[in-house]
Chain A
Amino acid sequence: MFENISRRQFVSGSAAAVAALGLVGCGGNGGNGGGSDDGTIKVGIMGPHSGDNAQYGLACLNGAQLYFDQLNADGGINGKEIKTFVYDEKGDATEAVNAYNSLVQNDGVTGIVGDVTTIPSIAVAQASVADNMPCVTPSATAADVVTYGTNTFRACVTDPVQGVVMAEFAAKQGYKNVATLYKTGDDYNEGVNKAFCEEAESQGITITTQESYSDGDVDFNTQITNILATNPDAILLPNYYNEDGMIVTQARQQGYDKVFLGVDGWSGIYGGSENYADAADLHDCYYCCAFSASNESEITKQFIEDYEAAYSETPTNFCALGYDAAMVLAGGLTAAEEAGLEAGSDDYKQAVIDGIFANTVDGVTGSISYEDNGDPVKSSLIITFAEDGSEVTFDTIEA
């Protein structure tokens, strides 16, 4: 094995040489490589790389590509180089299915990192069931995505899981009475709110009131007055940062000095393009997310360093999820390769899927494993704010 890796590294500059040696390597391992096997493992990466959602797609692509590049630098999987095929589906479901078909039929990939956003991801999940093609979406949170077959996994947690995580955190902190203020008419806000309330009540927390608002509202004073009248220990705001910032500001103006709880929509409330609330108002605020640059763990620090070296920018949550999705897929591919199956065969694809289920990866966004379906069992970070508004990792909630 050691000899193999050193040989591989020696020639890693030349694709042709790698291909030749890859065949040699296969022979040495027992020689089940099929005719289509040219010593590389073909992997697809798809997402919206142009258009409205391009920032998410490109972040996931960069993260996933970084992982595969590092894997190749370390000798690849089973001595084979990972070769990536990148498709831009422009955020469109039809384009996404076309990209999927092209990846499978023209490029002959054996696994896909993607899709990125919900609607194209559902289309790809439906299309890929018949092929049993292993797909790992970094970031599609809708429940449906993993329900069409056992071949689609996700690296992120679903929206309701975040509500459950925050309810567990609230119980751990000893909050007895919690109120919520959420936006109506949006699956994200309503889903998190519902899951939080159900879990909190089962943990013995009293939900004092559930207030709501509509899209476009800027005045939350009336709801806040209602909430403060119930004297809660904490208020859950399962919304996006700009509205959460206004709510926090207005509540502090009304004299509320206790705790706010949030979910990953809070990411960017301070220190991003704008500060949506004063640093002085962000005391006692806690939100859960998968990835924070404030996390002091070795793997996170290393990832940030590598990412900045590769792309000259600070990685976001989506970059980290792309990286982890690639890691999950690589875990499955390793299992299939070690079983010595023919790339692209039905057994191979099933072995990748079984491998993902059997494996636990220590990703940048926490340790990830899968039990019954494509929803990950993973830990979440609890983030709070220092006096100057900078983010601090407060706690890790294990799955």
Chain B
Amino acid sequence: MDIFLSQVLNGLQLGSIYALVALGYTMVYGIILLLNFAHGDIIMVGAYVSWLVMAQLGLNPIIAILLSVVACTLVGVLIDKVAYAPLRNAPRLSILITAIGVSYFLENGAQLVFGADPKVVPAFTDVSTIKLGDIALSFPAVVTVLVTVVATIALTLLVQKSKLGKAMRAVSEDMGAARLMGINVNSTISFTFAVGSALAGIGAVLYAMAYTQASPTMGMMLGTKAFVAAVLGGIGSIPGAVVGGLIVGFAEMIVTWLGLSVWKDAVVFLLLIIVLIVKPTGIFGKTMSEKV
């Protein structure tokens, strides 16, 4: 039973980080139909900011968390303004290629600035283990799961209840009609990038807490897996991204649990292929009408 509980927590932890990144993918896709391939690399930026603040400047972990989230938000908005906004009316392929270019720019830029060797992010807290009776739970795992639950609820409220959320839903339904109704489309798109990137920033902190190392290419595989999660759940759907993230996390955990860790990536991509054949719009693809 112990091992079962621990493995479920491991799956939840992995899945939560994928879910947080997948949310960013899904929101941006929902609003401008762009697969933002630079999204995974925003996590990398956040992890490096945590490292800079804590290891280089020796500041408090709370400052590191705040600055990481702020930095990711700014980078996300900046990428939109510099790279994507000028291409709003260009063919979708151009903007997709631009996204790949931005991804390479961030990765190679980080390698130029920080070097190829991984940097170690110091521990955020002195606590590393939570004891429940005789079961020891990893503190970062518990925090990751809790933070993801809170972030998902907050995001859902934001999208469903707030005025900005209503504007986002309107823009994603029909950009032209939204503009005619007096919605500032550009600022709504910027806001969407900001929210998605802030979630990536939270993901970056949680990632750095659990896996302690920042490297220039760390966002590559993470971004790809999160993309799979978003497509699995139905890209454009918020609950879909969370469910997709958890499915990917649990699939990896179960395969590794069975001692087949080498097949982990293959199983994840196989799942993607099966979903694309059976239900191309993803699990929540059709039923969810309110695309963000």
Q: Which residues of A contact B (CB under 8 A)?
A: 184-185, 211-214, 216-219, 221-223, 225-226, 228-229, 242, 245-246, 249-250, 252-255, 273-276, 278, 281
Chain A neighbourhood of B213, CB < 8 A = 218, 242, 245-246, 276
Chain B neighbourhood of A252, CB < 8 A = 128-129
Taking the closest CB of chain B, its distance from the CB of A99, in whole angstroms, is 29
B238 in contact (CB, < 8 A): no
Q: Report which residue of A184, A217, A219 has the largest number of chain B beta carbons within 10 angstroms of its beta carbon.
A: A219
Q: Digitize B208-246: 1 where CB-to-A-CB distance is under 8 Å, 0 elsewhere.
A: 001111000010010000000000000000000000000
Q: Which residues of B contact A (CB under 8 A)?
A: 2-3, 6-7, 10-11, 13-14, 117-120, 122-123, 128-129, 131, 136-141, 210-213, 218, 221, 252-253, 256-257, 259, 261-262, 264-265
**Can you sample 17 A-B contacts with CB below 8 Å?**
A184-B261, A219-B14, A219-B210, A219-B211, A219-B252, A222-B261, A225-B6, A226-B3, A226-B257, A226-B259, A242-B118, A249-B128, A249-B212, A250-B211, A254-B6, A254-B129, A255-B129
Chain B's closest residue to A210 (CB) is B259
Chain B's closest residue to A255 (CB) is B136
Q: Choose among B10, B119, B131, B211 the residue that contacts A255 (Cβ–Cβ < 8 A).
A: B131
Taking the closest CB of chain B, its distance from the CB of A351, in whole angstroms, is 46
Taking the closest CB of chain A, its distance from the CB of B169, in whole angstroms, is 35
Taking the closest CB of chain B, its distance from the CB of A243, in whole angstroms, is 9
Taking the closest CB of chain A, its distance from the CB of B203, in whole angstroms, is 13
Interface SS of B by simple majority:
helix
Q: Are A221 and B138 in contact (CB under 8 A)?
A: yes
Q: How far is the CA of A92 from the CA of B262 in the complex (A)?
A: 32
Q: Choose among B120, B210, B252 the residue that contacts A275 (Cβ–Cβ < 8 A).
A: B120
Chain B neighbourhood of A216, CB < 8 A = 221
Assuming A246-B211, A254-B129, is B13 touching A221 (CB within 8 A)? Answer: yes
Q: Choose among B14, B117, B137 the residue that contacts A274 (Cβ–Cβ < 8 A).
A: B117
Q: Report which residue of A214, A221, A246, A250 has the largest number of chain B beta carbons within 10 angstroms of its beta carbon.
A: A221
Q: How far is the CA of A295 from the CA of B123 in the complex (A)?
A: 30
Q: Are B13 and A212 in contact (CB under 8 A)?
A: no
Q: How far is the CA of A329 from the CA of B10 in the complex (A)?
A: 53
Q: Are B2 and A229 in contact (CB under 8 A)?
A: yes
Chain B neighbourhood of A274, CB < 8 A = 117-120
Assuming A249-B212, A255-B136, is B120 touching A217 (CB within 8 A)? Answer: no
Q: How far is the CA of A255 from the CA of B138 in the complex (A)?
A: 7
Chain A's closest residue to B2 (CB) is A229
Q: Are A254 and B136 in contact (CB under 8 A)?
A: yes
Taking the closest CB of chain A, its distance from the CB of B7, in whole angstroms, is 5
Q: Report which residue of A184, A216, A249, A278 has the largest number of chain B beta carbons within 10 angstroms of its beta carbon.
A: A249
Chain B neighbourhood of A276, CB < 8 A = 120, 212-213
Q: Are A211 and B259 in contact (CB under 8 A)?
A: yes
Q: How far is the CA of A221 from the CA of B259 in the complex (A)?
A: 13
Chain B's closest residue to A253 (CB) is B138
Taking the closest CB of chain B, its distance from the CB of A227, in whole angstroms, is 10
Q: Are B10 and A273 in contact (CB under 8 A)?
A: no
Taking the closest CB of chain B, its distance from the CB of A85, in whole angstroms, is 34
Which 4 residue pairs spanning A and B have beta carbons closest together?
Answer: A255-B136, A253-B138, A222-B256, A221-B10
